[in-house]
Structure 1
Amino acid sequence: MSTTSAFQIFSSLRYDPALPAETEQPATAYPDPRESPYYLLQYHRDRLLNAAREFRWDQAIEFLQQDAGPLARLLDTHIPDTSKAWRLRIVVDCNGVCVVEVHPTAPMPPSNLLVPIPSLPHRLSSPDDIWRVYVDSASTVPSEFTTHKTTARDGYTAARQRTGIDSPAELAEVLMVNPEGEIMEGSITTPYFLARNSGSGQESEVGLTPRWITPPLASGGNAGTTRRYALKNGFCTEHRILASELVDGEPCWLSNGVRGFLQGVIVLKDHHK
């Protein structure tokens, strides 16, 4: 297990002043703190803490053991304009030093941050908002650097380059594949696929039988915040899925801590570039 300080752990999340009001809508099972403009704040703190424990960074563990309240107050000091949405990147090193990077982010309906459920339809402004989802042509070996979000991201960068994705602004994603041919995750998102017959009988944590499945952590992917949210709210269940099972043109969902839940389509036959 690596203990080097050559990398940091991080988590990216959205600040959105409209979020607290959206979580008060009926049928939105959203975790506390519900009143926070920081999207899934407690989940981001948990994710960072779990990573610090994995790497045995005692000072980082001590810093991250604070609850969401003090963390939110720290983040507040970095928000340039509380009337706008922002993308935050919380970076923590092995000494427990925290750096918060803040960048502008595109506006979007706050409802897109809520897990998709039948009684609260997800809105898209146009078909052009659907992401193109490709499959990496090479495999990635799972490690603590795929299980946890760190700045050691050469494998993810290489996968995007192989696919021809040049900018994070592109509505394009590449799915990482482990040496056994299993889908691990997306390069910047958690993917969700239509349940195959072999997985459609599983129940979620809330006793539902979801229509969607997401790769289990055993396949090597990241324990994402929106992934945790989707599982706890019955949107999906975990199930191993092979890259060879995917069908060109099939719908999928993607999610991450800045953009929420996004609709995508699997692209197998056409090259991106």
Structure 2
Amino acid sequence: MEPGSQAENEPYVFTTVRWDPALLQSLENTAASCNFPCPFYMLEHHWTRLQIAKWNSSLVRSSPAELLRDLTHAVQQWHADHPDEKPDSLRVKHRMYSRGRTLTEVHAVPCIPLTRLFPRRLEHPDMDPETVVWNVCLDRQAIVTSAATMFKTGDRQYYDRARAFAGIDTYAEQREVLLFNEDEEVVDASFSTPYFFREGRWVTPKANSGGQQGTTRRWALERKLCVEGDVSIQEIREGEVIYLSNAVRGYIRARP
């Protein structure tokens, strides 16, 4: 389905995933993809995300294999439409509308090492601090938490507002903005999960703060790379090293 069609005015949930043939050789990705080699990053977590976020039985994908089929078809169609382009990796955004229709957008993205997609640990903040190139700022006002902040839906008003305030125009920029709730707790970032080093361990905002339970967040918690906790905006220190993660770029070191 093409953008601009009738479905554009309908509610939808979505997930965005990295396609990368190198993932077929990753045992970690196999484990996060129903124990089958897969070119999509943590496929099983994306399927779970869509099941949790659905509000209508027509949105149910009967199995991860069905989602894999849809994503694979979209990638194959993109390659057919762009025969002269040979990207190493693709960003695949899959929308599911309330009436059961779908739309998938595909864009080329840079190659990154598998170690950034599946780190064995989140490094101590003092480790190679000069290599940190991403910049992060804090949103200017609190959000009101709701289904729109806890699930990936078409209602992106708070995220769009935060990015506009931060002056972030495209997803290619190495910049991010942190969102916080009315209790002045960090809940999320505009397109990634944040992690903060507190009392000797990495902490990501707790689930009931009102933010999204991202795929890479769940994986990091499962692997005990971090714990859930409260992150007050009053505790954020300018220049401290933090981590960000999402399902296209993996795990990234950054600074507020």
Q: TM-score, normalised by structure 1?
A: 0.80
Which structure carries more helix by proportion?
A: 2
| Residue of 1, 16, 19 corresponding to 2:20 | 16
Contact persistence 2:144–2:181 (CA under 8 A)? yes
Is residue 2:107 matched to residue 1:111?
no
Give the deviation of 1:110 after TM superposition: 2.1
Q: List per-residue Cα deviations over 1:62-103 (Å, max 9, x = no partner).
A: xx2x22222212221121349731100010011121222111
Contact persistence 1:175–1:183 (CA under 8 A)? yes
Contact persistence 2:32–2:45 (CA under 8 A)? no
The aligned residue for residue 218 of structure 1 is: 208
Amino acid at match of 1:217: A
What is the 5 A alignment of 1:1-273? 6-23=10-27, 30=32, 32-52=34-54, 55=55, 57-61=56-60, 64=61, 66-79=62-75, 80-81=78-79, 84-117=88-121, 127=131, 130-196=133-199, 211-266=201-256
Contact persistence 2:136–2:254 (CA under 8 A)? yes
Unaligned stretches of 5+ residues in structure 2:
1-8, 80-85
Write the distance in 1 (CA, Å) between the matches of 2:176 and 2:105: 23
Give the deviation of 1:31 after TM superposition: 5.4
The 1:116–1:138 alpha-carbon spacing in structure 2 relative to 1, beyond 3 Å, is: farther
Give the deviation of 1:195 after TM superposition: 1.9
Match of 1:77, SS state, is: helix
Q: TM-score, normalised by structure 2?
A: 0.85
Match of 2:21, SS state, is: coil
Contact persistence 2:94–2:105 (CA under 8 A)? yes
Taking only aligned residues, the RMSD between alpha carbons, in angstroms, comes to 2.4
Write the distance in 1 (CA, Å) between the matches of 2:43 and 2:13: 16
The 1:33–1:102 alpha-carbon spacing in structure 2 relative to 1, beyond 3 Å, is: farther
Give the deviation of 1:33 after TM superposition: 3.5
The 1:141–1:118 alpha-carbon spacing in structure 2 relative to 1, beyond 3 Å, is: closer
Contact persistence 1:115–1:229 (CA under 8 A)? no
Amino acid at match of 2:68: A
Unaligned stretches of 5+ residues in structure 1:
201-210, 267-273
Write the distance in 2 (CA, Å) between the matches of 1:169 and 1:179: 30
Write the distance in 2 (CA, Å) between the matches of 1:102 and 1:109: 20
Match of 2:188, SS state, is: strand
Give the deviation of 1:183 after TM superposition: 0.2
User: Any runs of at least 4 consecutive aligned residues in structure 1 with deviations exceeding 4 A, and if so which?
Assistant: 28-31
Amino acid at match of 2:243: W
